[in-house]
Chains A and B, each alone.
Chain A
Amino acid sequence: MVDVIKTLDIKYLPSNPASSFRALHESLIDYGGNKQPEFLTCMHEESAVGMAHGYFKIAGKPLLTLCHGTVGLQHAAMGIYNAWCDRVPVIVVGGNDMDAAHRPPGVPTFHSAQDINALVRDFTKWDDAPVSAQHFAQSFVRMYKIATTPPYGPVMMSLDAGLQQEPIRDIGEKLYIPRFVPSSPPQGDSGAVKEAARLLANAEHPVIVVDRAARTPNGIKLIVELAESLQAAVVDQGGRMNFPKTHYLNRPPNVIGQADVIIGMELSDFWGVVNGYVDNGDNGIGFNETKIKAGTKLISINSVELITKSNYQDFQRFQVVDVSMPADAEATLPALIEAVRSAIPNDRKAAIDKRGETFRKAYANGRENVKKAAAIAWDASPISTARLVMETWAQIKDLDWSLVASEGNVSNWPNRLWPMEKHHHWLGRSGGYGVGYGAPASVGAALANRDLGRFSVSIQSDGDLMYAPGVLWTAARHKIPLLAVMHNNRGYHQEVMHVQRLANFRNRVAYLGNDLAPMGTGIQNPDIEYHKLAESMGWWAKGPIKDPADLAPAIKEAVAVVKSGQPALLNVWTQPR
């Protein structure tokens, strides 16, 4: 098994130890020399999966995690769901002792099940439960191949504890390890590409909307090429770093309203791009309203249509489109760009250039307006999220930086104010919005950045950190440098607003107890001393920082610590959003 795993060049193995995979664990560190993969000790299975999630978004290569078959996988499940929704491959192997006649009674039997994979089958691309060493070899290479073929996704293997420990049976055939050959990503049909190009080339106001379109740095270049060919506005929804924030065609979502043709690439929710939902009642129904003009043509390139499942509703509401390509956007872009260039009529070229000039002016005006908005409450205490973000920026701007997570909602200031241009400048969010992603994903991404010599910074929210703060210890133990600047607004803020909303609709005064926020939504009384929590697990830390004037020197000090190879955390009290 170790020989098979080693053929796939998997660098790390973040895991929480468990008896059901003790045999493989021992072989990996002793027979395998604890290299390719190197075991990283985790304190929660959700942290292990989150680390693998963040790691992939920098390295472009999946990690393996081992977990206990039942209870460990239950811990891991939310992280796997996030990876599924975020289209990230994670190789999950769960130990499971199937033989009821021979497995130890008591705890190991509590921790065994007929079909552990069932727990995550609805949000994994593939799963298997091999019954021989050769079967393991086939299935492990197959699961790696499936996970790393776009659309990416997590995969699951139930690995029998007996199979891990028993000697290799002589069945008269030589065991072999199948060679891994990556699959090509699926491209859009040539006829559909041509029709999409025709619509875009003849549009008065084409708009490009991207979410997870740039799987790689090359994806950004391709989207820029398409946008410049058309001088079309680009709305980057931020599932990945798709488009440079410094480009004049980078526009806010309200340009959708002027569009006559919209192309959506790898969108998680096309309906939500062209429609609005207003939550304006206590009956939970609200109302819908269109954001687009009648007759606007819609084009979709979305590989996720190839792996849609039924139970979990990550496919969102159904949106009718005029041209639908179930295909990988990045792989389809070269053909689409070529088709668009061929389809632009000569007599439209001047109008297209003029469109670009309009966007240059709008971009410049937009920048000034964003700065004005950032200046409001600049000197406030608790510290404004704009100030938090820009004080951080000032200390890292000369480094090869990577914003590895931004959880808890800081009003999108990094994307609005930082000159994000490279693929590693922004990694997107959790995918499934399962809270608890930020801390482990930022540690995983920082691990990948460490190996590339980059500086990692995260905006770390309070609620997110407390789901599984043990990942802080993992970062210190394995010397993963990361600057975590906390957005500590002392509450589950989305829920703060939800409960207030319902109280208002019902004409009731929200009960606060002694908190600022409605009962059950605040994280105060007592305030959590995150800096002490981090210090106790081997981090350099400081806080609570409430005065904006104290922020710059603290961040400067923390940056120096991180550059020396240690993780550092700043507990900053912030405005709500």
Chain B
Amino acid sequence: MRNAFILIAAGLVLGNGAAFAASAESGKKAYVAHGCWQCHGFEGQGSVATSNGTVIAHTQLPFEAFESFVRSTNRAMPPYREAILSKADLTDIYAYLQSVPKPPDAASIPLLNP
């Protein structure tokens, strides 16, 4: 049931026909298999050491902008062209990133507010 909700949510975010086929569950597998986790962490949390602190979980970028960056980044991130990462996999990865549990409010974590 939860997965179904994620699928729908991802589809709404993507806003195109192909996106409705997106699967967060498959996206999680693709995210790991393609090595996204290496710099961005398993939950897209990022790191100041590897992704300049950029958090890609729940990215605000529309899918088209997200894809455009992933395909052709000319910065520190190496590009993932379609030959090595299919559009279907990237669509699923995007859905996975939208499905990651939202972090708790920092103010609610006692360890961060001693």
Give chain A's interface residues, CB within 8 Å of chain B: 278-280, 368, 371-380, 382, 384-385, 387, 390-391, 393-394, 397, 409, 411-412, 416-417, 493, 496-497, 500-505, 507-510, 512, 516-518, 575-577
Contact = CB atoms under 8 A, between A and B. Distances in A.
What is the interface of chain B mostly: helix, strand, loop, or mixed? Answer: loop
Interface string B46-71: 11111001010100000000000000
A412 B46 CA distance: 13
B76 interface: yes
B104 A379 contact: yes
B106 A510 contact: no
Contacts of B76: 278-280
A393 B114 CA distance: 10
Contacts of B84: 503-504, 507-509
Closest 8 CB pairs of A and B: A504-B78, A377-B45, A577-B47, A375-B106, A371-B106, A376-B45, A377-B43, A411-B47
Contact of B104 (A375, A409, A493, A575): A375
B1 interface: no
A376 B50 contact: no
Residue from the set A384, A394, A518 with the largest chain B CB neighbour count within 10 Å: A384
B83 A507 contact: yes
B72 to A, nearest CB: 11
Residue with the greatest number of chain B CB neighbours at <10 A, chosen from A278, A373, A393, A417: A373
B20 interface: no
B49 to A, nearest CB: 5
Contacts of B104: 375, 378-379
Contacts of B114: 394, 397
A575 B36 CA distance: 13
26 contacts: A280-B75, A371-B107, A371-B113, A373-B45, A375-B104, A376-B46, A376-B55, A376-B57, A377-B103, A378-B104, A379-B104, A382-B42, A384-B41, A384-B43, A385-B47, A411-B49, A497-B50, A500-B35, A504-B79, A504-B81, A505-B78, A509-B84, A517-B38, A518-B35, A575-B42, A576-B41
Interface of B: 32-33, 35, 37-39, 41-43, 45-50, 53, 55, 57, 74-76, 78-81, 83-84, 101, 103-107, 109, 111-114
Given A380-B42, A576-B38, A500 B78 contact: yes
Nearest to B100: A377
A385 B42 CA distance: 12
A285 B91 CA distance: 32
Given A384-B41, A411-B50, A496-B38, 10 more contacts: A373-B53, A377-B57, A380-B43, A394-B114, A412-B48, A517-B38, A575-B41, A577-B39, A577-B47, A577-B49
A384 B42 CA distance: 9
A507 B106 CA distance: 40
